[in-house]
Amino acid sequence: MNPVQLSIFANRLSGICDEMGAVLRLSALSPNIKDRLDFSCAIFDAAGRLCAQAAHIPVHLGSMAYAMADLVSGRRWAQGDLLVVNDPYLGGTHLPDVTVVAPVFCGDELIGFAVTRAHHANIGAHSPGSMPVSTHLEQEGLVISPTLIKQAGQWQIPFCRRLAGLQTGQGENVLPVENVRFGDFAAQASACEAGARRLGELAAGREGLKQAFDALNAYGERRARARIAALPDGEYHFQDVMDDDGQGQRDIVIALTLRIKGDSASLDFTGTAAQVAGNINCPLSVAAAAAYYCFRCLMDDDVPACAGLFRPISLFAPEGSLLNARRPAAVAAGNVETSSRVVDVVLGALAQAAPGAIPAASQGTMNNVAMGAVGEQGWDYYETMAGGAGAHAGGAGLSAVHTHMTNTLNTPIESLESHYPLRVLRYGIRRASGGAGLHRGGDGIVRELEFLGPASFTLLTERRGHRPWGLQGGEAGAPGENRLNNLLLPPKYEGQARIGDRLTIASPGGGGYGANE
């Protein structure tokens, strides 16, 4: 393929992913998907290699790229199949992130896969919002090993009802079409099927689709190697810590040795703490997603998002460590909080190799808030919250944005108050929370919620004890704070709220860049 043909092909694949995302957003029922856009869409070839993705959520897409080949290989696929999986130890991230995979055929030939991953606010955990302060994987909800939700185009109704949280018994042969939980699965299915149709149409209109996939990934690899080759050879060290694991262990180390040699990079996380009792552990796929993201940020925007980008990058984390945990370690916060710290560590090492190209630390947390109530009028709400971005050589950090491994939106106040028994009392920028410097770090936000009914709530947050670091003499950003009725809460917390209680989350600011003159 000549460069023009390759560019057109890459953009057509990306357009398919964008269309999948539009279908998912417009057909989902939960605010977490339709308003916050907590989902991702991608196209893979028949071998499970990433070929295209929309600009959705890095932690979803990088982990899928790392693990999809093992997930799809050795399976007998049929036209109309749809497979569902969320097991973190089989290529998932954490249980609320559920992956739906649709095989794509051209005639009788398997040519690729259309894939969506979306965060479900209720996946059956013991606490509303399905983000508990857990110590064991099974406490975090329904663990789904790779299972067909559709087989040859037919819904597998007993399994669908299980996903919907319904008991067996009356109506067990009826598809739960009015169930909100099932509605989001159906939306993912529709998005995958739309992507499969579009990829099938693209394949029917051209010969040599596999060769085109190969050319795309080879081009991505060349671009990645060229960027890495521009970095000076050497060994770079950096480490940072997690505040706590929610079970009493504090200052948990993530250590990295980054080696650049020629046009390849290796990341060795030897020295990282062992897996912990709490839920900040990661499967290796999540650590890989964070590392891939950091290197992708070094590349130009026109570089296609494909598996070839990651071929020059190798990754090692000791088995049984925080970043390569063994089953059944709890992982609910690993996907959201630990992945954010891995980004800080990788960028901290890259800042030594490429000074001037790397920003100071951003807020370093997703500020996870989950809450709800059980019973006939039960509800589940989950949100990640924005904060400050790190300043950089070119200017100040952005304020009130989701940074790095999350790329979601906030839940609009109108949507939040219409769906849940909550009132938003305050929502604004946390002034002067960004680190000082020649260029100031971005400011965090403050959100105060009043409970209009009794509820359980969970907080999984970081950077409450350790501030986001500055670079080149810039100062650290302000740490975050969690308060209930003005009483300071720890970073990881489960509690009960009464009518009239007020929960306030103040997110961290980003680090500053450069010393004040």
> In the chain, which residues have pLDDT < 50?
none
| Helix, strand or coil, per DSSP, at residue 305 | coil
Decide if 437 is inside a domain. yes
- Amino acid identity, position 513: Y
Question: Which of 191, 221, 251 is a domain's end point?
Answer: 221
Q: How far apart are CA 409 and CA 398, in angstroms?
A: 15
Q: How far apart are CA 421 and CA 361, in angstroms?
A: 35
DSSP per position, 15-70: HHHHHHHHHHHHH--SHHHHTT--EEEEEEETTS-EEEE-S--HHHHHHHHHHHHH
| Helix, strand or coil, per DSSP, at residue 212 | helix
The pLDDT value given to residue 109: 92
Decide if 132 is inside a domain. yes
Q: Who's near 475: CB < 8 A, 6+ residues apart?
A: 435, 436, 437, 511, 512
Decide if 274 is inside a domain. no
Q: How far apart are CA 89 and CA 101, in angstroms?
A: 17
The pLDDT value given to residue 311: 95
Decide if 425 is inside a domain. yes
Decide if 129 is inside a domain. yes
The pLDDT value given to residue 171: 64
Q: How far apart are CA 516 and CA 474, in angstroms?
A: 8
Question: Which of 180, 195, 221 is a domain's end point?
Answer: 221
The pLDDT value given to residue 56: 67
**How many domains are contained in the chain?**
2
DSSP per position, 333-387: TIIIIIHHHHHHHHHHHHHHHSTTTSPPP------EEEEEE-STT-EEEEE---B
Decide if 264 is inside a domain. no
Decide if 341 is inside a domain. no
Please give the distance of CA 264 from its chain centroid, rounded to a whole number: 25
Q: Beta 264-268 vs 147-151: how paired, if at all?
A: unpaired
Main-chain phi, psi angles of 182, to 5 degrees: -70, -35
Residue 124 DSSP label:
S
Range of the domain at 505: 359-517
The pLDDT value given to residue 168: 65
Question: Which of 221, 237, 272 is a domain's end point?
Answer: 221
Decide if 344 is inside a domain. no
